[in-house]
Amino acid sequence: MPSSRIAVSGSSGLIGAALVRSLRADGHEVARLVRRPARTGDEVEWDPQRGYVDVAGLVGCDAIVHLAGAGVGDHRWTEAYKREIRDSRVLGTAAVAEAVASLDTPPRVLLSGSAIGFYGDTGSSPVDESAPPGDGFLPSVCEEWEAATAAAEEAGVRTAHARTGLVVGREGGAWGRLFPLFKAGLGGKLGNGRQYWSFIALHDHVAALRHILDTESLAGPVNLTGPRPVTNAEVTAAMGRVLRRPTLFPAPAPALKLVLGEFAEDVLGSQRVIPAKLLDSGFSFAFPDIDGAIRAALR
């Protein structure tokens, strides 16, 4: 993509911050959506709960990357927090899509966040973007989340949904919690360890987002996972190898359910997700294997 103006929501999160750094390093102008009055020229005010976006701040944007949403694992899943998870995604996405559709000259692409939670528990069966939604809370949220981009699609904007897997990064997400435990020698498999984890290195995730922005043929759901999903037991062994620490402290399923409540079902669930669209479009992974992804995060 030639030097462009790109708006990004969720720019303070693990993925958003890395994407902003990458775009700016290549000379792109980035406008960050912030939940307060804009203080600088690179900020755009928005309020997802009220459905408000300062549309003037999006004028001239070639692309919008919408990544904002409450953390799925940040709190115990009370009914109130489940509403926050859902509303932060669905209401925020609808606000961004409607703002995009209202522009006289809309951006050429809206890249909106989603998650492999769309598929539910797939067991050991591999699934790609053609698979139907699963059952349960997260699949239903992902369906509504993706449907909320309708206004932009109806306005003729190419719209893609980045179905993100487990991002291997040191500063946030699932691995942000795993690294301190394993470095302290307190890591171990979760449950029986046979559940598949569809991981992706943070470096590859950012590169994949940029690949979607640049590739006109990519629209609709796109799985952002590495090409070789591994089991939780294999993740545990890899963490031990790379960090050179013992992995003797498993977390039994009953203990996880006691601590995490309903969210434990998703932690213990298995998702063997294949990034078919990325691979078919010629995307190349820098860190396709779990050991390399972990080492990249540590660097």
DSSP for 137-184?
A: HHHHHHHHHHHTTHHHHHTT-EEEEEEE-EEE-SSSHHHHHHHHHHHT
The backbone region for 246, taken as left when phi is positive above 0, alpha when psi lies in -120 to 50, beta otherwise, is beta
* Each residue's pLDDT tens digit, 97-151: 999 999 999 999 999 999 999 999 999 999 999 999 999 999 999 999 999 999 9
Q: Within 13 Å, how many C-alpha atoms sit on residue 172's CB side?
A: 11
How confident is the model at residue 259, as a pLDDT? Answer: 61
Query: What are 166's two structure tokens?
Result: 């487990």
Instruction: Kindly report the length of the chain.
Output: 299
Q: Which domains, ranges and CATH numbers included, belong to the chain?
A: 3-168+199-224+273-284 (3.40.50.720)
pLDDT of residue 268: 84
Across the range 58-82, mean pLDDT stands at: 92
Indicate whether 86 pLDDT > 90.
Answer: yes
Q: Picking from 2-6, 91-95, 182-186, 215-219, which range would have the lowest pLDDT averaged per residue?
A: 2-6
Does the pLDDT value for residue 7 go beyond 80? yes
DSSP assignment string, 245-276: ------B-HHHHHHHHTTHHHHHH---EE--H
Quick one: average pLDDT of 47-53?
Answer: 93
Q: What is the pLDDT of residue 1?
A: 65
pLDDT of residue 261: 73
Q: What band does 73 get if pLDDT is binned at 50, 70 and 90?
A: confident
* Residue 175 pLDDT class (50, 70, 90 cuts): confident
